[in-house]
C-alpha cells in the first residue's frame, strides 16, 4: 500500500478521533466536566442521521437528514445537561466521569433497541467516490472528513476567543460563582456547551458512518478519542485535533511497519508515556494549586 494513501486514511481516521476529542475538550473547557459518553454521542448522532436518510428506515434526502441529526444531537446534549448533569454541581470530576460512563451504557442500549446490532453504513453522497489530485487518487469521504474537521476547529477556536458567548463559557468554567455574580447565566451556558458538544459529535458520527459501517458499540471509539484528547492536551482545542491526528496516524503505520497486532496497542502506549512524562499533554494548560 502506498505510504501517502496510508497517511491520508490515517489522517481521516484521526480527524474523526479529533472531532470526538473536540467534544470532550469543549465540555471540559467550559464546565470542567468530563463527558465519557462523548463517543456514544457520536454513535447516536450517526444513527439518527442514518435512521433519517437510509432507505430501510425513513428515506429522507441526505441534506435534510444531516442538519436534522445535528440539531437533534444538540437538543440531546442540552437536555442531558439540564436534566442530569446540572444536578451534579459541585461534585467531584470522577463522579461525573462515572455518571457519563453509565450514561454511555444506556445510550448504547437504546441505539441497539431502535437500530439493531448489525453493522449498517450511512447512505451518503460522499461514500465510495474518488477525487484525483494530479496522479493521486483519494477517497472523497476521506478528503471531506479532513476539510470539514479543519473548518469546524477553526470556527470553534474563533468562537471561544472572539465571541461574547464563547468568552462567557470560558469565564463560567474558571469560577462558577464569580461568573454568576457577573451576570453570566452559568446554568444555561453550560447546557449550551453540552448542546454544542452534541452537535460536534453528530458531525463526527455522520463523517465516520459515511466511511464505513457502524453499530452501537462504535461508541467505544470514544475511549480512543479520549486518549487522543489527553495526548494533545486536555483543555486545548487545537491539542484535541493534534492528538486525534497523532492517534489516527500511529495506528496504520504501526501495523504497516511493526505488526498488525501492535496497531491498537500503540495509541494507549503513547498515552501512558505522555501521562508519565508530560502529564498534561503536548499543549498543556494547567497551573499549580496555591495554599
Which residues form the interface with other proteins (CB under 8 A)? 32, 34, 84, 87-95, 97-99, 101-106, 108-110, 112-113, 117, 173-177, 216, 223, 226-227, 230, 234-235, 261-262, 264-265, 268-269, 271-272, 275-276, 279-280, 285-291
Q: Which of 92, 55, 52 is nearest to 72 (CA)?
A: 52
Nearest-approach distance from CB 11 to other proteins, in angstroms: 23
Kindly report the backbone phi and psi dihedral angles of residue 32, in degrees, each rounded to the nearest multiple of 5, phi listed first.
Answer: 70, 0
When the beta carbons of 5 and 170 are compared against other proteins, the nearer one is 170
Nearest-approach distance from CB 10 to other proteins, in angstroms: 19
The C-alpha cell that represents 284 in the structure block: 498543556
The C-alpha cell that represents 141 in the structure block: 469521504
What span, in angstroms and rounded, lies between the C-alpha atoms of 245 and 181?
40
Nearest-approach distance from CB 6 to other proteins, in angstroms: 21
Nearest-approach distance from CB 148 to other proteins, in angstroms: 27
When the beta carbons of 60 and 84 are compared against other proteins, the nearer one is 84
Nearest-approach distance from CB 159 to other proteins, in angstroms: 21
Render 72-141 in DSSP notation, one character per residue.
HHHHHHHHHHHHTGGGGTTS-HHHHHHHHHHHHHHHHHHHHHHH-SS-EE---TTTT-EEEETTEEEEHH
When the beta carbons of 50 and 230 are compared against other proteins, the nearer one is 230
Nearest-approach distance from CB 248 to other proteins, in angstroms: 17
Q: 83-111 burial, b for 16+ CB within 10 Å, e for fewer?
A: eebeebeeeeeeebeebbeebbeebbeeb
Beta-sheet pairing, 130-133 with 120-121: unpaired
When the beta carbons of 146 and 189 are compared against other proteins, the nearer one is 189
Amino acid at each position: 500500500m502506498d505510504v501517502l494513501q496510508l497517511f491520508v486514511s490515517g489522517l481521516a481516521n484521526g480527524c474523526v478521533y479529533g472531532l470526538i476529542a473536540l467534544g470532550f475538550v469543549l465540555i471540559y473547557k467550559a464546565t470542567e466536566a468530563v463527558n465519557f459518553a462523548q463517543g456514544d454521542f457520536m454513535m447516536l448522532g450517526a444513527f439518527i442521521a442514518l435512521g433519517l436518510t437510509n432507505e430501510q428506515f425513513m428515506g429522507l434526502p441526505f441534506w435534510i437528514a444531516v442538519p436534522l441529526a445535528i440539531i437533534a444531537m444538540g437538543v440531546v446534549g442540552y437536555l442531558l445537561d439540564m436534566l442530569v448533569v446540572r444536578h451534579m454541581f459541585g461534585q467531584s470530576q470522577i463522579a461525573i466521569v462515572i455518571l457519563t460512563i453509565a450514561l454511555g451504557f444506556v445510550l448504547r442500549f437504546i441505539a441497539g433497541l431502535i437500530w439493531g446490532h448489525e453493522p449498517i453504513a450511512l447512505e451518503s453522497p460522499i461514500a465510495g467516490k474518488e477525487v484525483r489530485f494530479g496522479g493521486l487518487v483519494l477517497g472523497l469521504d476521506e478528503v471531506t472528513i479532513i476539510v470539514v474537521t479543519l473548518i469546524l476547529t477553526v470556527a470553534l477556536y474563533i468562537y471561544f476567543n472572539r465571541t461574547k458567548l464563547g468568552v462567557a463559557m470560558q469565564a463560567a468554567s474558571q469560577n462558577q460563582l464569580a461568573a454568576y455574580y457577573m451576570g453570566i447565566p452559568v446554568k444555561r451556558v453550560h447546557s449550551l456547551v453540552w448542546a454544542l458538544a452534541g452537535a460536534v459529535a453528530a458531525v463526527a458520527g455522520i463523517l465516520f458512518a459515511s466511511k464505513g459501517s457502524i453499530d452501537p458499540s462504535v461508541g467505544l471509539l470514544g475511549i480512543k478519542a479520549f486518549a487522543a484528547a489527553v495526548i494533545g492536551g486536555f483543555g486545548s482545542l487545537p491539542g484535541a485535533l493534534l492528538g486525534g491526528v497523532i492517534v489516527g496516524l500511529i495506528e496504520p503505520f504501526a501495523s504497516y511497519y511493526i505488526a498488525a497486532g501492535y496497531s491498537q496497542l500503540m495509541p494507549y502506549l503513547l498515552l501512558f508515556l505522555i501521562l508519565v512524562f508530560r502529564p498534561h499533554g503536548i499543549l498543556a494548560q494547567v497551573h499549580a494549586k496555591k495554599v
